[in-house]
């Protein structure tokens, strides 16, 4: 039986920035509003199919990780579905409407680094073109090099690869019941 809350030696769970779930914001958070430079972070999703733990890359994508952690700490991702899950490609989530068209009310720029979409479990921002990152992201099911230089890589799955395999393959507007992120939280290395 899996523990209710993930624990890891040397890490502690970050406190929320709000008690109530918030899904709309006037502007992107300032760098440092959710994370501290030089620290290490993990994001944890308790999903309807199991736990997914991801190492985040704040040194490579500081604005992206700051925004992602900011949204998690406002309970933004709690209850959100994996609205687009494509066999041998990726699982996409992060839209409160569940349609693939929603976001947090702000956008921010791309942050490309030497990180690549070169394996299963890469965490990357979904977008509609350059500089249109918001809250939607995806996790790859294998190498997807055609996404390099188009989508910001900001983390990778370190536990729960098997959970990715269990996610229901689905697309918006098609029949089926999507899996969801029941609760999201962030761990900070002490």
Catalytic residue among 73, 108, 151, 154: 151
* Annotation says 25 is catalytic: no
Q: What phi, psi does 161 have (nearest 5°)?
A: -55, -35
The catalytic position among 13, 40, 51, 89 is 89
Mean pLDDT of the chain: 95
Check if the beta carbon of residue 178 is closer than 8 Å to that of residue 95: no
Q: Is residue 105 included in any domain, yes or no?
A: yes
The residue-averaged pLDDT of 72-78 equals 98
| Cβ atoms 114, 61 nearer than 8 A | no
Catalytic residue among 56, 71, 123, 147: 147
The verdict on residue 9 lying in a domain is no
Q: Which long-range contacts (CB under 8 A, 24 or more apart) does 57-60 make?
A: 57/113, 57/115, 57/153, 57/154, 57/155, 57/156, 60/111, 60/113, 60/114, 60/115, 60/153, 60/154
Number of domains the chain is built from? 1
CA distance 46 to 5: 8
Exactly one of 74, 75, 83, 84 is catalytic; which is it? 84
pLDDT band at 3 (very low <50, low <70, confident <90, very high): low
Catalytic (active site) residue 133:
no
Q: Is residue 127 annotated as part of the catalytic site, yes or no?
A: yes
Query: Mind listing the pLDDT tens digit for each residue in 136-187?
Result: 999 999 999 999 999 999 999 999 999 999 999 998 888 889 999 999 999 9
Residue 45 among the catalytic residues: no
CA–CA gap between residue 58 and residue 44 (Å, rounded): 16
The answer to whether residue 97 sits within a structural domain is yes
User: In the annotation, is 138 catalytic?
Assistant: yes
107 is catalytic: no
pLDDT value of residue 175: 86
Query: CATH number for the domain including 151?
Result: 2.40.100.10
Quote the CA–CA distance of 131 and 64 in Å, as a whole number: 11
Express each pLDDT in 92-131 by its tens digit: 999 999 989 999 999 999 999 999 999 999 999 999 999 9
Confirm whether 20 is domain-assigned.
Answer: no
Confidence at 190, pLDDT banded by 50, 70, 90: confident
Which residues span the domain enclosing 63?
A: 38-189
Buried b (16+ CB within 10 A) or exposed e, 37-54: eeebbbbbbbbbbbbbbb
Residue 72: inside a domain: yes
Within a domain: residue 7?
Answer: no
pTM of the model: 0.95
Q: Is the pLDDT of residue 51 over 80?
A: yes
In a domain, 17, yes or no: no
Q: Report percent pLDDT > 70 for the chain.
A: 98
Residue 11 covered by a domain: no
The residue from 82, 108, 137, 138 that is catalytic is 138
Q: Does the active-site annotation cover 68?
A: no
- Please state, in angstroms and rounded to a whole number, the distance separating the CA atoms of residues 141 and 167: 11
The pLDDT score that the predictor gives to residue 2 is: 52
């Amino acid at each position: 039986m899996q523990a209710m809350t993930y624990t890891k030696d040397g890490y502690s769970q970050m406190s929320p920035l709000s008690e109530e779930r918030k899904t709309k914001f006037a502007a992107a958070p300032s760098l440092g509003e959710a994370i501290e430079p030089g620290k290490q972070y993990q994001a944890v999703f308790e999903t309807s199919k199991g736990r997914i733990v991801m190492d985040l890359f704040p040194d490579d994508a500081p604005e992206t990780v700051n925004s992602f952690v900011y949204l998690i700490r406002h309970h933004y991702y709690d209850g959100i579905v994996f609205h687009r899950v494509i066999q041998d490609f990726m699982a996409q989530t992060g839209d409160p409407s569940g349609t693939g068209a929603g976001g947090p009310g702000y956008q921010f720029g791309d942050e490309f680094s030497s990180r690549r979409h070169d394996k299963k479990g890469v965490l990357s921002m979904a977008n509609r073109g350059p500089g249109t990152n918001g809250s939607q992201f995806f996790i790859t099911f294998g190498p997807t090099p055609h996404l390099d230089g188009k989508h910001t890589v900001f983390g990778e799955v370190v536990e729960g690869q098997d959970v990715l395999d269990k996610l229901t393959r689905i697309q918006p507007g098609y029949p089926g019941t999507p899996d969801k992120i029941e609760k999201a939280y962030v761990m900070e290395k002490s």
